[in-house]
Amino acid sequence: MNLKAVVGQLSTLAGASLATACCWVPLALAVAGVTATALGQTLEQWSPFFYVLTGVLIVYSFWEGFLRAPHSCDAPDSPEKCQSSGRGRSRQMRVFFVVHLALVALILTLPTLMMSASTSASASATELATEHELDEELASVTLAIEGMTCSGCVANIERALLDMKGMHRVSVSFEDSRGVMIFDDQILASDEIMERVSDEGYAVAIVGESSPL
């Protein structure tokens, strides 16, 4: 198997992982109990570079795996065996390239997949507002949240808030940089909610709130 092609393909996987690191690294660290918002923001700045690098490495891997002729032969004294060996290595490289390309595509779509999972797992702001109207015993607060780099941050914030006693529902939007929370104000205060979001490493401000009737 062509060592250069293998190295190129492994490098492509590394490049794709780094391109999306601003999304999965903070989330992975959050699961371990470590806040890494600043790291996520730093990685986001480098994401365009790693996306370009990944594209270049994919082209290089395609060249090495599909277009470039084998450099050596296992049986140089037998042209037929040499040709057969070359075809075998070529098939191996093509299979390896296709598998590697599928993994790269999966890694690059990770932010989108995480956003879809987060969206399906949490209620929309409209649903929360409707729920609040139907349950007059609950309070709600809408927060402006700055510093989110991708859907991984959404998952971090929702996880942290849902762990708070008295919290009923949470919906955080990465696109709008907003979050809506419905909670029992006999147990929990909006200032405590703001403090928890701030502790996760995000700038936060109240843009709207309501109390039970």
Q: Write the pLDDT tens digit of every residue in 58-99.
A: 888 777 766 765 555 544 555 555 555 455 556 777 777 788
For the ranges 17-31, 56-70, 107-121, 187-201, the lowest mean pLDDT is seen at 107-121
User: What share of the chain has pLDDT > 90, as a percent?
Assistant: 12
pLDDT confidence band for 34 (50 / 70 / 90): low
Question: Does the predicted TM-score (pTM) go above 0.75?
Answer: no
What integer is the mean pLDDT of 21-46? 68
Task: Quickly count: other Cβ atoms within 10 Å of residue 78's Cβ.
Answer: 12
pLDDT of 44 higher than 60 = yes
Q: What is the mean pLDDT of the chain?
A: 75
Pull the structure tokens for residue 197.
Answer: 């979001």
Q: Side by side, which strands form the sheet with 178-183? A: 167-173, 178-183, 139-146, 203-210
Pull the structure tokens for residue 104.
Answer: 């790269």
The pLDDT of residue 95 is 77
Distance between CA atoms of residues 7 and 58, nearest Å: 11
In terms of Cα–Cα distance, which of 150, 152, 156, 151 is closest to 199?
156
Q: What is the pLDDT of residues 143-185, one digit of tens each?
A: 999 888 777 788 778 888 988 999 988 888 888 889 999 999 9
* Cα angle value 154/180/145 (rounded, 5°): 55
In terms of Cα–Cα distance, which of 187, 164, 182, 165 is closest to 124?
182
Q: Are 161 and 196 a contacting pair, CB within 8 Å? A: yes
What integer is the mean pLDDT of 13-38? 71
Pull the structure tokens for residue 188.
Answer: 């929990």
The pLDDT of residue 75 is 45
* Cα angle value 122/33/147 (rounded, 5°): 60
The pLDDT of residue 183 is 92
Q: What is the dotted CATH code of the domain comprising 115-210?
A: 3.30.70.100
Distance between CA atoms of residues 85 and 90, nearest Å: 9
The pLDDT of residue 187 is 92
Comma-separated ranges of CATH 3.30.70.100 domains in the chain? 115-210
CA atoms within 13 A on the CB side of 116: 5
Place of tokens 């879809």: 116
Q: Are 152 and 144 a contacting pair, CB within 8 Å? A: no
The pLDDT of residue 200 is 81
The pLDDT of residue 89 is 58
pLDDT confidence band for 45 (50 / 70 / 90): confident
pLDDT of 126 higher than 70 = no
Distance between CA atoms of residues 181 and 209, nearest Å: 9
Q: Are 132 and 188 a contacting pair, CB within 8 Å? A: no
